[in-house]
Amino acid sequence: MKKLTILTGAGISAESGIKTFRDGDGLWENHNITDVASPEGWQKDKSLVLEFYNQRRRQLHEVEPNEAHLLLAELEKYFDVQIITQNIDDLHERADSTNILHLHGELFKSCSCENKNLIYEQKSDINLGENAEDGAQLRPFIVWFGEDVPLMREATIMAQEADIFLVIGTSLQVYPAAGLLHDIKDDCLLIVVNPNETGFGYGQRAVVIKETATQGMKLLFKELLSLA
Q: Give 164's strand partners.
A: 4, 189
The answer to whether the beta carbons of residues 207 and 192 sit under 8 Å apart is yes
Non-local (6+) Cβ contacts of 16 within 8 A are 63, 64, 65, 66, 69, 91
Residue 139: name the closest of 26, 225, 22, 51 by CA: 51
* CA dihedral of residues 149, 83, 98, 60 (deg, nearest 10): 70
The answer to whether the beta carbons of residues 106 and 141 sit under 8 Å apart is yes
Catalytic residue selected from 69, 92, 102, 104: 104
Catalytic residue status for 69: no
- List, by residue number, the catalytic residues: 104
